[in-house]
Structure 1
Amino acid sequence: MIYTVTLNPAIDKTIVLDSLNLGHVNRSLFSRDDIGGKGINVAKVIKKLGHNVVAMGFIGRENSNYVYKKLYEYGICCDFIEVDGETRTNIKIVEEREGRFTDINQLGFETDNFDLENLIKRIKSRVNSNDVVVLSGSLPKGLNVDTYKIMIEKLKEIGVKIILDAEGEALRKGIEAGPLLIKPNLNELKTIVNCGESLEDIKKAVSVIVDKGITTVVSMGEKGAILFNKDECFYSKPIKVDVKSTVGAGDSMVAAFAIGIHDNLPFEESFRLSIAASTAKVTKEGSQAPDRNEILKYLELVEIQRR
Structure 2
Amino acid sequence: MIYTLTLNPAIDMTVYINKLEKGQVNRSSFYMLDAGGKGINVSKVVKALGGETVALGFLGKENSDYILKYLKRFGIKNDFVFVDGFTRINVKIVETEASAYTDINQAGFEITEKDIQNLFDKLEEVPGKDDIFVISGSLPGNCDEEIYFEIIKKLKQKDVVVIFDADGNALKKGLEAAPDVIKPNIYEFKSLFDVDERDLNSLVLCARQLIFEKGVKMVLVSMGENGAVYVSKNTALFAKPVKTEVKSTTGAGDSMVAAIAFGIEKKMSEEEMFKFACACALAKVAQEGVRAPDKNSVQQCFEKIELERLG
- Which TM-score tier does this pair reach, normalised by the shorter chain? over 0.9
Q: Which residue of 2 aligns with 1:225?
A: 228
Q: Secondary structure at the match of 1:93?
A: strand
Aligned-residue Cα RMSD (Å) equals 1.0
Q: Which residue of 2 aligns with 1:277?
A: 280
1:1-307 alignment, distance < 5 Å: 1-198=1-198, 199-211=200-212, 212-214=214-216, 215-307=218-310
Worse-superposed segment, 206-215 or 156-165: 206-215
CA shift, 1:120, in A, is 2.0
Q: Secondary structure at the match of 1:101?
A: strand
Worse-superposed segment, 38-47 or 115-124: 115-124
CA shift, 1:141, in A, is 1.9
1:222–1:238 contact (8 Å) kept in structure 2: yes
Match for 2:101: what amino acid? Answer: F
Match for 1:94: what amino acid? Answer: V
Q: Deviations over 1:82-112 (max 9, x none)?
A: 0000100000000001000000000110013
CA shift, 1:203, in A, is 2.1
Q: Deviations over 1:11-58 (max 9, x none)?
A: 000000001011111110110100100000000000000011110000
Match for 1:245: what amino acid? Answer: S
Supply the distance in 1 between the matched residues of 2:41 and 2:177 (Cα, whole angstroms): 24
Q: Show structure 2 runs of 5+ residues with no match.
A: none
1:213–1:230 contact (8 Å) kept in structure 2: no
Supply the distance in 2 between the matched residues of 1:293 and 1:222 (Cα, whole angstroms): 22
Supply the distance in 1 between the matched residues of 2:102 and 2:265 (Cα, whole angstroms): 34
CA shift, 1:260, in A, is 1.2
CA shift, 1:189, in A, is 1.1
Report the TM-score when normalising by structure 2. 0.97
Q: Show structure 1 runs of 5+ residues with no match.
A: none
Supply the distance in 1 between the matched residues of 2:256 and 2:306 (Cα, whole angstroms): 15
Q: Deviations over 1:249-274 (max 9, x none)?
A: 00000000001112222221110110
CA shift, 1:142, in A, is 2.2
Supply the distance in 2 between the matched residues of 1:45 and 1:154 (Cα, whole angstroms): 26
Match for 2:278: what amino acid? Answer: I
% identical aligned pairs: 47
Supply the distance in 2 between the matched residues of 1:132 and 1:237 (Cα, whole angstroms): 28
Supply the distance in 2 between the matched residues of 1:256 and 1:197 (Cα, whole angstroms): 23
CA shift, 1:67, in A, is 0.8
Worse-superposed segment, 113-122 or 177-186: 113-122
Supply the distance in 2 between the matched residues of 1:241 and 1:16 (Cα, whole angstroms): 19
1:88–1:106 contact (8 Å) kept in structure 2: yes
Report the TM-score when normalising by structure 1. 0.98
Q: Deviations over 1:217-274 (max 9, x none)?
A: 0000111000011111010012211000000000000000001112222221110110
Supply the distance in 1 between the matched residues of 2:207 and 2:307 (Cα, whole angstroms): 20
CA shift, 1:156, in A, is 1.0
CA shift, 1:207, in A, is 2.8
CA shift, 1:216, in A, is 0.6
Match for 1:10: what amino acid? Answer: A
Q: Secondary structure at the match of 1:28?
A: coil
1:113–1:143 contact (8 Å) kept in structure 2: no
Q: Deviations over 1:151-172 (max 9, x none)?
A: 0001111110000000011011
Q: Deviations over 1:131-186 (max 9, x none)?
A: 00000000102211111110000111111000000001101111110010000000
Supply the distance in 2 between the matched residues of 1:206 and 1:265 (Cα, whole angstroms): 21
